[in-house]
Structure 1
Amino acid sequence: MVTQQHPWSRYVAIGDSFTEGIGDPEPSVPGGHRGWADRVAEVLSQGTEDFAYANLAVRGKLIQQIIDAQLAPAVALRPDLITISAGGNDVIRPGTDPDEISARFEYAIDRLSRDRATIVIFTGVDVGFSPVFRGIRGKVAIYNENLRAIASKYDCIVADQWALADIQDQRFWAPDRLHLNALGHHTVARMVLSALNVENDLEPLKPEPLPGSTWRQARVEDLAWAREYLVPWVVRRIRHQSSGDTITAKRPEAGPYSAGDPLSTDPVSTDPAP
């Protein structure tokens, strides 16, 4: 197994369902979902005895909610590596302004950068492949350009999902068409580790080609998807509810994470060293 030395010992992940790991169910880990951030933490922990990891992400959260609920706890954990993905839930909502969302994102980066941690941010996926989200492709592109400018200003690392062609394929997405599945999260984890220049043993997965689908089968799948996922999403918007309203962070404290002990969450003190 590759164990690459790297400079980080405390990693904190901030964000929404993407970072929480929704779409990649794994009952044996905290929160019941694994996701790309857990996979990255597992690799970073190899050969680093004092490595600690916290994941504060909660599904369904808008960018201001992430700022209000996650920034202060993240800073208190004194991380030297931070990943933040935020604004996606705002961008997909009708009538929202990508420039206004970007201004909030920059506020978050300005606060997180004060302690000189390495910060990784994510561009949005090129949704041109998706019939559901193709209509907001231009809006995502505008937001991405703003994020790139923020990354340049604050010297952040960009994990470029827009350029990650592999995930522009429904085989990498969960049945709800909104979240990555295990294969998608694995692919993003490889991309993040590459952006960090950390060697690893994660291999690109090569799934079998999708079987052919008739027009009628595709329409049946669309109707089933709309009943199970789209209608509940619309109802929550009308009621001003979020899928994360009753959810708490799956790893609120920074603790050890290793491949051999995925459930280990013993907290590491956030008090300053004596």
Structure 2
Amino acid sequence: MSMTTHTPLRFVAVGDSFTEGVGDNDLRLPNDCRGWADRVAEELARRQPHTHYANLALRGRRLKQIVAEQLEPALHMAPTLVSFHAGGNDLLGARLDMRAVIGGFEGAVARIAESGAQILLFTEYNVPLSPVLEPLKLRTAVFNKHVRRIAAAYGTLLVDHWCFEKYQDRRMWAPDRLHMSRIGHEYMAKKVLEVLGAAHSLGSPVLGPLQPRTRAEIVADDAAWLRRDVAPWLSRRFRGVSSGDHLSARWPALMPVVLPERLGTSPEPARL
């Protein structure tokens, strides 16, 4: 797909925290985050002034919720481009019906394809949570195999996140180890724009060598992560609630893209 300056673009982003922008903190924006989808929309709008954008994604949503809550509102906007990311929260579940998740995913892609919109899909990354959770890698690999098959079958665009080696660097991830950091979202935006064939001004992160950590520092960091991030997540799972239950979609209707230079004050500094 090559983005031209002559085609009015209606870009609708559908999904979970990955697409909502969690980890890319910006207190000037709805839900206090920005994310790769906003950054992609900004780059497109700078070159295509008639670009409109909506982002319906919400953190914590599983595949069935995304399909039930976001798909029809997205299609009602008659989008020309739909990004669809779903299934990541399902893969983290204690009990997983992989066949049902893959079937639901493919059904959603088929429904979007019927609308005539161009579709942008993503593979999942082997998020470096903890060595204890290494078995999740097998689930992710199986899921990604089917995402690639579905992308080929329906002629969608595919951002193969699994293959991006830069995400092996922990600085590409937020402190919760589950969501991308600001630079992670910036790089994802660059890779999405490359897949779209769109001109842009984004560069690759220059991180430099990682400072080695002592065993004591690693243990302390793991303990802080378990207390700060894992314990609340497990509590929510036990209670059947989500971190996104009190939130609404960041950009719930198609509208001209809000460029960051027009927002005034600076975003929250990145924490690397």
Q: Same fold (TM over 0.5)?
A: yes
Show the counterpart of 1:272: none
Task: Please state how far the C-alpha of 1:129 moved relative to its aligned partner.
Answer: 8.2
3-state SS, counterpart of residue 195 of structure 1: helix
Residue 162 of structure 1 aligns to which amino acid in structure 2?
W
Aligned-residue RMSD, C-alpha = 1.8
1:241 aligns with 2:241: yes
Task: Answer yes or no: is the 8 Å Cα contact 2:151–2:158 preserved in 1.
Answer: yes
Give, in angstroms, the shift of residue 6 of structure 1: 6.9
Unaligned runs of 5+ in 1: 264-274
Q: Please tell me the residue identity of whatever aligns with 1:115.
A: S
1:26 aligns with 2:26: yes
Counterpart-to-counterpart distance in 2, 1:162 and 1:84: 16
AA matched with 1:134: E
Range 248-257 or range 120-129, more displaced: 120-129
Q: Residues 142-175 of structure 1: CA distance to partner in whole angstroms, max 9, x if unpaired?
A: 0001111111111111110001111122110000
Give 1:107 deviation, angstroms: 1.1
CA separation in 2, counterparts of 1:7 and 1:86? 28
Change (3 A) 1:64 1:188: same
Matched-pair contact (CA < 8 Å) for 1:99–1:146: no
Is residue 13–residue 57 contact of structure 1 (8 Å, CA) maintained in 2? yes
For residue 173 of structure 1, what is the aligned residue in structure 2? 173
- What is the distance in 1 between the residues matched to 2:188 and 2:111? 25
Aligned to 1:269: none
Answer yes or no: is the 8 Å Cα contact 1:123–1:144 preserved in 2: yes
| Corresponding residue for residue 12 of structure 1 | 12
Query: 2:124 maps to what in 1?
Result: 124
Shift of 1:261: 5.8
Kept after mapping to 2: 8 A contact 1:127/1:133:
no
Identity of aligned residues (%): 39
Partner secondary structure for residue 84 of structure 2: strand
TM-score w.r.t. length of structure 2: 0.91
Going from structure 1 to structure 2, the CA distance change for 1:27 and 1:156 (only over 3 Å counts) comes to same
Q: Is the 8 A contact 1:129 1:169 kept in 2?
A: no
Report the secondary structure of 1:249's partner residue: coil
One-letter identity of the residue aligned with 1:156:
T
- Report the equivalent of 1:202: 202
Number of aligned residue pairs: 261
Q: Is the 8 A contact 2:129 2:178 kept in 1?
A: no
Q: Distance in 1 between matches of 2:9 and 2:166?
A: 30
Per-residue deviation, 1:217: 0.8
Report the secondary structure of 1:162's partner residue: helix
The answer to whether the 8 Å contact 1:126/1:161 transfers is no
- Specify the code of the residue in structure 2 equivalent to 1:105: F
Structure 1 runs (4+) deviating above 6 angstroms are none
* 1:6–1:198 Cα contact (<8 Å) kept: no
Q: In the TM superposition, what is the alpha-carbon distance from 1:111 to its structure 2 partner?
A: 1.1
Q: Which amino acid aligns with 2:231?
A: V
For residues 128 and 25 of structure 1, the distance between their equivalents in structure 2, rounded to whole angstroms, comes to: 20
Task: Give the C-alpha shift of residue 30 in structure 1.
Answer: 2.7
Tell me the alpha carbon deviations over residues 215-273 of structure 1, each in whole angstroms, 9 at most, x when there is no partner: 1110011001100111111111111111111110000011011536666xxxxxxxxxx
- For residues 64-106 of structure 1, what are the alpha-carbon distances to aligned partners after superposition, in whole Å with 9 as ceiling and x for unaligned? 0000000011011110000010000001112203232111101
Q: CA separation of 1:156/1:146 partners in 2, compared to 1, >3 Å: closer, same or farther?
A: same
Amino acid at match of 1:9: L
CA distance in 1, matches of 2:134, 2:8: 38
Describe the shift of the 1:235–1:129 C-alpha distance in structure 2 as closer, same or farther (beyond 3 A).
closer
**Within 2, Cα distance between the matches of 1:238 and 1:182?**
30
Name the CA distance, whole Å, in 1 between partners of 2:28 and 2:42. 14
Instruction: Structure 2: give runs of 5+ residues left out of the alignment.
Output: 264-272
Contact 1:46 1:258 in 2 (8 A): no
Distance 1:62 1:114, change over 3 A: same
